[in-house]
Structure 1
């Protein structure tokens, strides 16, 4: 079914329009949008890793929420900006502009329905900029709209079981993603094909001590598409990571529900300048 990992009662598309219209305190009801991608993740993982992780983390977080916290998940965005992986078959990519406008249109729909709090949980490292730009534009349009765009991995998790090299250099299809997928979709993995590969040191250490500072594509780092070491991942580590990710995101959603952030009461645009009045929301 469409709700995937999300409890059906927490899945906004399962409500009728009259159900949505009748919701109480929509201004403080949190809407959560998983954002993923479909792109190569090496020989051992499916191309849908980022879409699976975004939907899985959000779904498990929604299942952990106390009943008194009003929050609903949207259907995930499964296609993302993945052009850095387009040299590998199976990668499906949108342009950054299309993704940006897609987020804006979804955000406008959320706002039009009466909601004022939107969280985007992004599981693909190649697209935070379009999401952040869309969020800023929505904020400028609507002064009472609280929009948050964050990586699914941005909450606190314990990765002490990974090597120091993995924590510093892994970027794609490595230990963490592989372990989490062992919990969310183990039937899609082929661990007999897993291999490790780390990027070579970037030749300008002043600009980048670990990861490349220059624009790059996945094939710059080798033919497998892997940037990291998935070979040591275990289901137990995946269970630990998923538990931490989902519990931390459940806490974040509850905090956003309680938050009363600044509300822009008035905005005027002039020639090349902006003036506005900001007050705290009570």
Structure 2
């Protein structure tokens, strides 16, 4: 049931009495991994983003000092993935539904006496939704500290490992995610079906882009036929190992920082 999460750090394995008597609950770090179930091309399974969120959470908790209290909730597998819904297998919630699920989960954690909750999100289609949830909850409960964080934003060696083109345009099921999956779950990667496809029809000589400071709204099928944005054919387990090692080390520090964090007043 706990997957990559160390069993002693898996919140559902606690009893209600464990939680009632837990010391210093206001500083215990509760982590909600958030992913998605959505197409990732012909070579990767639907679970990629949820796998990344769960793996990074679990491996970071395994490395964390035992004296730092932190627990992981079960992964929120379904996310807001409507940009991919033209591809079979994608399961998507509306922004409103995802907001409601995360809000009600968070309020349950609050009622149990906890005051620090991390949304560790690995799907690029929903950071804004999660940020709204966190801000609204903190406005409602000012002693509730929430952290809407994207798994990818800790220090990592991606710029050393991947081409500039891949870093700019390989945003989905390309070299990066395929390499990570070869490291995490190699048995479900079908490298014989890997493709290289970069976004087509992007505006030239324009300040506008898919992502970045001046993005435009897009649907995946407008940019790719295969569902891949990037070069999956050059992915390797070795690159995935390096990325994930850096990610988990970074998240150990983030969890420590959150444990020590006090809200400015």
Instruction: Report if TM-score (shorter chain) is over 0.5.
Output: yes
Give the Cα–Cα distance (whole angstroms) in 2 for the partners of residues 176 and 50 of structure 1.
12
Question: Residue in 1 aligned with 2:120?
Answer: 121
Question: Residue in 2 aligned with 1:61?
Answer: 60
1:200 to partner: Cα distance: 3.0
Q: Write out aligned runs for 1:159-198 (5 A).
A: 159=158, 160-198=160-198
| Matched-pair contact (CA < 8 Å) for 2:208–2:216 | no
Which protein shows a greater Rg? 1
> 1:146-174: per-residue Cα shift (whole Å, max 9, x none)?
10111111111011111110011111101
> 1:54-75: per-residue Cα shift (whole Å, max 9, x none)?
1111011110100110100000
Question: Residue in 1 aligned with 2:250?
Answer: 248
Unaligned runs of 5+ in 2: none
Question: Residue in 2 aligned with 1:75?
Answer: 74
Give the Cα–Cα distance (whole angstroms) in 1 for the partners of residues 60 and 67 of structure 2.
14
Q: Write out aligned runs for 1:1-282 (5 A).
A: 2-159=1-158, 160-200=160-200, 202-203=202-203, 205-208=205-208, 211=211, 213-262=215-264, 279=265
SS in 1 for 2:31: strand
> What do you get for the CA RMSD once the two structures are aligned?
1.3
Greater per-residue helix proportion: 2
Give the Cα–Cα distance (whole angstroms) in 2 for the partners of residues 92 and 168 of structure 1.
26
Give the Cα–Cα distance (whole angstroms) in 2 for the partners of residues 168 and 215 of structure 1.
17
Tell which deviates more after alignment, 112-121 or 196-205.
Answer: 196-205
1:209 to partner: Cα distance: 5.3
Give the Cα–Cα distance (whole angstroms) in 2 for the partners of residues 30 and 258 of structure 1.
10
Tell which deviates more after alignment, 183-192 or 205-214.
Answer: 205-214
Give the Cα–Cα distance (whole angstroms) in 1 for the partners of residues 222 and 205 of structure 2.
18
SS in 2 for 1:231: helix
| Matched-pair contact (CA < 8 Å) for 2:194–2:232 | yes
| Matched-pair contact (CA < 8 Å) for 1:180–1:241 | yes
Q: Say if 1:144 and 1:205 are closer, same or farther in 2 by CA, change over 3 A.
A: farther
1:260 to partner: Cα distance: 1.4
TM-score, normalised to structure 2, is: 0.96
Give the Cα–Cα distance (whole angstroms) in 2 for the partners of residues 69 and 126 of structure 1.
31
1:210 to partner: Cα distance: 6.6
Greater per-residue strand proportion: 1
1:201 to partner: Cα distance: 5.6
Q: Say if 1:209 and 1:102 are closer, same or farther in 2 by CA, change over 3 A.
A: closer
| Matched-pair contact (CA < 8 Å) for 1:168–1:210 | no
Give the Cα–Cα distance (whole angstroms) in 1 for the partners of residues 25 and 42 of structure 2.
44
TM-score, normalised to structure 1, is: 0.90
Give the Cα–Cα distance (whole angstroms) in 2 for the partners of residues 72 and 151 of structure 1.
18
Matched residue count: 262
SS in 1 for 2:230: coil
